[in-house]
Amino acid sequence: MSHSISVRELKKILDTDKPANTILIDVRTAPEHKATHIKGAVNIPLNELEARKAELEKYDTIFLHCRSGGRSRSACNVLSDIKSNIVNVEGGILEWQSEGFAVEKGKSFYLPLIQQVHILAGALVSLGAILALTINPQWVILSLFIGLGLVFAGITGWCGMAKMLELMPWNK
């Protein structure tokens, strides 16, 4: 069984009446977690959650959070068949920080994957346009390819550029 709570409710639970046998799981990627996280949160990325279900079944309550709430909702679905009380933290760490609650920060800077995609796509579209105007008009194909890739990503939710960027060493 799963339900949702606000970050304010989670803060109250963590500060005052945290029930025994609970765990707070951050389902973001390891680099995101390293950059900033809620004290005491255990990092189990969403894509690893299915494989780690067995170790979570020992908890009575599992609190799940991510960046803004989307991945943690998906995580609730992944864990829906275990007997623990599954709790989604609405708004994620962004809401947690906007409320002024403390976070622990790592020494490294992390740029979210979606921003990396925006930067790379924008740079490639611009490069294609510049090369088409100055070198050879056929370079417009680069801009067209990137633009169509973004349309495909928007329609399907799958982005090849994001998958490629996930493999880069700075995202490990």
Which of the residues are catalytic? 66
The token duo for 109 is 């800077």
Distance in Å from the first CA to the final CA of the chain: 33
User: What are the φ/ψ torsions at residue 73 (nearest 5 degrees)?
Assistant: -65, -40
The token duo for 73 is 């909702």
Question: How many other β-carbons are positioned within 10 Å of the β-carbon of residue 116?
Answer: 19
Cα 94 versus chain centre, distance: 11
* Cα–Cα nearest to 142, from 164, 161, 126: 126
The token duo for 127 is 């490069």
The token duo for 6 is 């606000």
